[in-house]
Chain A
Amino acid sequence: MKRTKAPHARKSAGNAPARFKVGDRVRVKDLPNMFYSRTQMYARGVSGTIAACTYQDLIPEDEAFNQEGRLEQYYIVRFRQKDLWEEYPSEKDTLQTEFPDRWLEPA
């Protein structure tokens, strides 16, 4: 019976170098939805700024189906609330959330 390996025991099929650094402008890709995703609809197609490079890990679309794909760099991206919700009343407020490398493209 195939078992899921614990994080420290995983043999990665390779890892991808970080394409972005803190301060870079990025846009969240708007891929189709099917079965599973942790990239929120509200963030798709919206541009923000890399606030932190966090860790490397499997991407959720692979892990949710027990596939041991390559490890990818994750980033915390900061958005202006006004860019996410056009009716948002304050220029100042922000929102941060996290994405793996393949969900981002240079803005």
Chain B
Amino acid sequence: MQTTHQHAGGGHEHKAAPTVEEITDFEVLEIAVRELAIEHGLFTAEDHRRFTEWAESIGPAAGSRLVAKAWTDPAFKARLLADGTAACKEIGIDWAEPTGFGTPSDYMNFRVLEDTPTLHHVIVCTLCSCYPRPLLGMSPEWYRSTNYRRRLVRWPREVLAEFGLILPPEVEIRVEDSNQKCRFIVLPVRPSGTENWTEEQLAAIVTRDCMIGVALPRPGRTADVHPVHKARHPVHSSPSMRAAE
């Protein structure tokens, strides 16, 4: 709902699916590994189904609600900055899901980076793609790219400018290289022109990119616009490749 899908130009146009469904090498490998793991009792089809259900329930809307609540409720904001993981429960996000100890990759050390008029945070993981999945869902492809990871830590002003965000020199840019077991989102400054807005109205302008720190919220900006590479067999499009169904 927050990402406007646009077709990329150049070599990225996706051709119509062939009438005979082709299966790619990675699709074959994925099925083989999953089936072998289940046959050998390393996990059950039910484990896979339960985790899939959780993975399909997450997305950036949770993060947007968190930011909107912090903007309108100073006491909540104080709790959020003091203990991010605990404060998330107040908006129905439990970092312990879906296993009881969190996902194996996201851990339970969530921290909020608060922007001020003279300080702007932006997040990267130079080593892989560490990302606060329980609050923002799956990371965008560009966030995982070597290009973003190589450049953001050394040329942040240039990279932000490519995202359309040009910050004046008097604003300190603070890059957070999320390289261990903490997970972060940016709490942007509430923009002017949003006085008397409801939490729901505010949440609509807090897009995923604002919480990574590559965009700033403003009235009227309700979507992150990027070129989109279309999938061959998108999630749910190919029942025969869906696990455990």
- B153 interface residue per 8 A CB criterion: yes
Q: State the Cβ distance, B151 to closest chain A Cβ, in Å.
A: 12
- A94 interface residue per 8 A CB criterion: yes
- A67 interface residue per 8 A CB criterion: no
- A7 interface residue per 8 A CB criterion: yes
Contact A40 B180 (CB under 8 A): no
In the bound complex, residues from chain B placing their C-beta under 8 Å from that of A60 are 180
In the bound complex, residues from chain B placing their C-beta under 8 Å from that of A7 are 101-102, 107
Q: Which of A74, A89, A90, A92 contacts B180 (CB 8 A)?
A: A74
Contact B180 A42 (CB under 8 A): no
How many A-B pairs fall under 8 Å by CB? Answer: 77
- B127 interface residue per 8 A CB criterion: yes
- B172 interface residue per 8 A CB criterion: yes
| Contact bitstring B137-179, A, C-beta under 8 A = 1, else 0 | 0000000000000000110110000000000011011111111
Contact B153 A98 (CB under 8 A): no
Query: In this complex, what residue of A is CB-closest to B152?
Result: A95
Known contacts A7-B101, A8-B101; A94/B177 CB under 8 A: no
CA distance A48 to B180 in the complex (A): 17
Known contacts A60-B180, A76-B182; A93/B126 CB under 8 A: no
CA distance A80 to B174 in the complex (A): 9
Contact A38 B180 (CB under 8 A): yes
- B109 interface residue per 8 A CB criterion: yes
Contact A57 B181 (CB under 8 A): yes
Q: Which of A40, A81, A88 contacts B179 (CB 8 A)?
A: A40
| Contact bitstring A37-70, B, C-beta under 8 A = 1, else 0 | 0101010000000001011010010000000000
- 10 smallest CB-CB distances across A and B, nearest first, come from A97-B177, A98-B180, A95-B175, A92-B172, A93-B173, A94-B174, A8-B101, A6-B101, A55-B109, A96-B176
